[in-house]
Structure 1
Amino acid sequence: MSTQTAPLALTMGDPCGIGPEIVAKTLTQRQERAIVYGSVAVMRNIVQRLGIDNSIQEISTPEEARFHENTIEVIETSQRLPVLPIGQIHAAAGQAAFDALIAAIAAAKRGAVSGIVTAPINKEAMSLANIRYPGHTEILADYSGAKRVAMMLANDDIRTVLVTIHMSLRKAIEQADFNAQLAAIRLACEGCKALGIAKPRIAVAGLNPHAGEGGLFGDEEIRIIRPAIAAACAEGINVSGPYAGDTVYMHARQGKFDIVVAQYHDQGLIPVKYLGLDRGVNITLGLPFVRTSPDHGTAFDIAGKGIADHASLVTALDYAKQLVAVQTKSE
């Protein structure tokens, strides 16, 4: 099956969170070439709870999908998982979310699906199941065989790529070395091109206040970040900085830059999330296939109540289709 014709895999996420609900709402609202990876029982239960007319059809492989109207097709990955209490952290739910993702990765690696869109997982539930990963990104990197990956957060106004991801701030500072800086810049360039931006303008945020103020507030900008920027420029990448982290996103939003390279998790995610969780999308760069995700969590406090907003998942699907289209065009 070619990338152009292969469907998308849509993982249900943690079955006790809002993942199944936003998946069901999305595939009810829109006719998509997307297959759910997860639990048939969980998806049937949420459809009934929401009063949705769509039927749940179990299939074994992506090739069996027919995408009939009012039908949500599900590949069972949870070994007949019982319906668990919604809104609670449960080891079985963490295992089910992990199993769905691993099955989707395997399908993407063999080309049976064109990409993966992931609903939210719960890190504590996975930990209870003895799955020691801090998030989706690290699982995707390990099981896809990718040498280096990066998180790209995007909405209509700004895009950002992170030098470091899920780790303490102290460790992030240690990990943000020359190689990490250069890799993030390269991936930011590749990510923009994957979205159809032929000549991306990249800004790099500083690590310290005021980008170090010439070494007064720290010398990482002088010792590490500037040399990495110079090395990237020598490769022909249009990158500049480091810029003060408290103003660079304002300039990006005004159109001066296409993407910002952030040094650590919150530096990059706060500006994106401030503009609205319904608009932000997480894109994993460096994988051998497309992967996007809504930029929010499992929201156990509202799970099962029928009020979860599926707008971010819809946006994630749209980004995935855009990335696949650009990828197919370049092949």
Structure 2
Amino acid sequence: MPAPATPPVLALTLGDPVGIGPEITVRTLAEYADDETHHGVAVGDAVAVRRAVAATGLDLEVREVSGFDTAPAGAGVIDVLDIGVLEGKELAWGEVDATAGRSAVTAIEVATRAAMAGTVDGVVTGPINKEAIWASGSEHLGHTEMLGELTGVTQQDTMFVVASRHAPDHRLQIFFATRHVSLRTALDQLTRERQVDSIRRALQALEVYGVAEPTLAVAAINPHGGENGAFGTEELDEVVPACEQLRREGLPVHGPIPADSVFHQGLAGRFDGVLSQYHDQGHIAAKTYDFDGTISVTVGLPILRTSVDHGTAFDIAGSGRADHATMRSAYLAAVEYAPFVPRMRSAYGS
């Protein structure tokens, strides 16, 4: 990947302030506080950051900044842009709270607007609790919907990025033809038209995010790819015609390939991306292979957004035991993808 012209500045939202988000954020910022090649700034309530520092036992100074243009202070100092929602209050760890939900939403809004304005190069989001954000008055299902509204985009996709242990320097990108719907609904949605659209968007995303001459495999829906109709006809009726149509157009599309082998083939370096047909098909494959290393990228936005792929872990929040490996991976991925922000603006901007 090309090096950025200037060290990228990234906004790290805390997520729900009574979950593990603040803890994994401060651990990540502390780890790279003395790295001059990039600068991360926490976005959220300063009281939540300080409480996370205390919970983790880290020897850190928390510096409140008024913007993202402040130069990093170096080792032992982390920066926070205080959003002032909690007003100094310390909420109970691990409990659904409307004020905590409002804090999480406000942090996302502040960070996203900064990215849209070009004040930061990307946003790295901590985990939110949907019940809490709904209690705060938000009607969004989650991050993706909020980001769409804030950026004026109506079509976004999730891209999982998984580093391969089998092929050096290779990362597999996993896309999803359907997302948060029941399996029954997903099967109804997997039409030929949806396959074609999903494949086109996945290939475009691979190019936007720096993959030269990408190849994409399409996962089958049924066991053994349906065995020519013996185990279901979705492949014959919908997936195969879509793949053949796009191959006739010259697009590098492979499949459908049975789901019990396609992810392994992708991780071995045969493909750059895999189109998963439904939520759990791709999530289980990625998280089983490397839970801590799998990160989520929202593609289709004119800004860069990476995220952890886990929840708020209310059961251990405040204990100092939260592992920040996934937040670290999401942060470092944002550093790497920052040079491609102009491509994102060009491809997905209005």
Scaled by the length of structure 2, the TM-score of the pair is 0.87
Aligned residue among 241, 259, 265 for 1:251: 265
The answer (yes or no) to whether the contact 1:6–1:112 under 8 Å persists in 2 is no
Partner of 2:163: 156
Scaled by the length of structure 1, the TM-score of the pair is 0.92
The answer (yes or no) to whether the contact 2:208–2:343 under 8 Å persists in 1 is no
Partner of 1:51: 57
Q: Post-superposition shift, 1:83?
A: 1.6
Partner of 2:22: 20
Q: Post-superposition shift, 1:92?
A: 1.5
SS of residue in 1 equivalent to 2:227: helix
CA RMSD, 1 decimal: 2.2
Partner of 2:168: none
Q: How does 1:50-69 map to 2 (within 5 A)?
A: 50-63=56-69, 65-69=70-74
Partner of 2:106: 99
CA–CA distance in structure 1, aligned partners of residues 242 and 343 of structure 2: 31
Partner of 1:135: 142
CA–CA distance in structure 2, aligned partners of residues 262 and 11 of structure 1: 28
Q: How does 1:258-269 map to 2 (within 5 A)?
A: 258-269=272-283
Q: How does 1:211-226 map to 2 (within 5 A)?
A: 211-226=225-240
Q: How does 1:1-331 map to 2 (within 5 A)?
A: 4-31=6-33, 32-63=38-69, 65-69=70-74, 70-81=76-87, 82-157=89-164, 158-327=172-341
**Runs of at least 5 residues in structure 1 that lack an aligned partner in the other structure:** none
Deviates more, 1:265-274 or 1:41-50: 41-50
Q: Post-superposition shift, 1:199?
A: 1.3
**Runs of at least 5 residues in structure 2 that lack an aligned partner in the other structure:** 165-171
Q: Percent identity?
A: 38
Query: In the alignment, residue 102 of structure 2 is paired with which amino acid?
Result: Q
Aligned length, in residue pairs: 329
Query: In the alignment, residue 245 of structure 1 is paired with which amino acid?
Result: A
CA–CA distance in structure 2, aligned partners of residues 140 and 84 of structure 1: 26
CA–CA distance in structure 2, aligned partners of residues 296 and 102 of structure 1: 21
